Amino acid sequence: MFSHSERAIYPVLLISVLIIAACGILYELLLSSISSYFMGNSILQFSLTIGLFMFFMGIGSFVSKYIKKNLFDTFINIEIILGFFGGISATGLYLTYAYTSHYYLYNFAFIAILGALIGLEIPIVARIVNKYSSFKETVAKIFSFDYIGALAASVLFPLILLPWLGVIKTAFLIGIINLIIALYNAFLFRKLLKNGIKQSLISILLIAAFGTGMFFTSEIDDSLEQKIYQDKIIFSKQTKYQKLVLTRWNDDYRLFINGSIQFSSSDEYRYHETLVHLPMLLSGSREKILILGGGDGMVVREVLKYHDVEEIQLVDLDPEMTKLATENEIFRKLNKNSFLDKRVKVFNEDAYNFIKNSSEVYSTIIIDLPDPNDTGLGKLYTKEFYEMLSGRLSATGIIVSQSTSPYFAPKAYWCIYHTFENVFGRAIPYQTNVPTFGIWGFVMAGGGVNNIITQDTVNYKQKIQEKVSYKLKNTKTLSDLRYFSAEKLPAMFFFEKDTEEVNTKINTMSTQELVYYYNKSAEKWR
């Protein structure tokens, strides 16, 4: 039996359970986020990580029944080992991705170690706590504190830890928390431990090492990221929503979001001119323009070439992205200070909610969102979202969307086309070659498109070419276009055999077929 003073340790053990549970969830979220960043397909990465984590927690819980002696020592040893592997997990995975081709193997190892240790320690703590209370009370309190800790972690990670600390510093911090738990309990239980002094010294040394690591996180992060990106990193920031990285090689600047390239300054004009000018020249009017995405300001730059545009509303979720495009000297040069124009209004909101709550009508809607690699983005390519957009488009207006590559992701591309067609009645697919990306596709629809096709169903592409040619010649502000021209339209409308239309389902909120199509293609080319 324990003395009365030892019974006072009971609440400390319960608090330890709460913190342990929080750390466990944080490790799951951390490893899932890193895998999503490196490997894409966030749904798959989170599902695999959480599933495997739970499996190995079960293994650890099963093994715990064979530990019958020295429970206090075992608990503290587990916390030290957990703190060590958890603390180095992010750095280890960065090194693995940069220097080996076996990322999944090492990721699996970290999941197995961390999951098994967490699964092992909870039953051991429960058995210690049970010495101070009945079994019924022990189970109730252990699970209550466990769930409270899990809730705290699930809120802290996306709102505070990830955007403010980033993954490497967060891993160091969680490791330190585990080690502090070990050190504090080693102090409280010092009379009951066989190796308390040794455990305390190891904990202090690791806390000092990880604390030093946190102090030099910027240097560590820069060094590791530089191994991942071929060109020199000149800007890197983890925002609340995504990781932004800007690189430079000679005069070529490239923006990466969560590891995926968004543009190269050497050829971005090919993409943006093709996306913007065909629908703008065909639209019945251009007074009010809506841009979804396009936080780099390049779409706005092209739209501002039309002097009859009276208002541009740009909706981009991440305020850090639009701030970068507004304030950064490189972006300002590329987008020609487009966000400083008085006609431009920026809304840092979710595009789906913005449209859902809007009652405004637009002459042209331009969708420049990232590729649909998860359901959060996939919902912005669904039938339901396009139906909402159709209610915001004027009778003679045109809506256009970047639609990924018909070569690298044919089913994803044609799924977007078929979903457009289902909502708007008719749609026109077109594509162009952007050297950085290869063949890239777009889809446009709306009343302006329907009017052109209805007038001449057979020769409507020739009609488009004639109309665009005439308007280009008579719009002086478009004389500086570097790529887009009416002469290129026949090639843009032509899809070769390996990019021609394929059968797909339409994309809906309930099925998210597009995300499946896209990620299946991404696996092939990764």
Catalytic residues: 368
Q: What CA–CA distances, in Å, run from 403 to 104, 157, 271, 407, 416?
A: 30, 32, 12, 11, 7
The token pair at 268 is 């971005």
Please state at what angle helix 71-99 crosses helix 103-129, rounded to 10 degrees.
170
Could you give the CA distance from residue 82 to residue 76 in angstroms, rounded to a whole number? 10
The answer to whether the beta carbons of residues 140 and 14 sit under 8 Å apart is no
CA 185 to chain centre: 38
Q: Which of 442, 405, 406 is nearest to 427 (CA)?
A: 442
Dmax (CA) of the chain: 95
**Helix or strand (DSSP H, E) at 378:** helix 375-378
Q: Name residue, tokens 């405004």.
A: 360
Burial readout 111-148 (b: 16 or more C-beta within 10 A, e: otherwise): bbbbbbbbbbbbbbbbbbbeebbeeeebeebbeebbee
**Who's near 227: CB < 8 A, 6+ residues apart?**
94, 98, 99
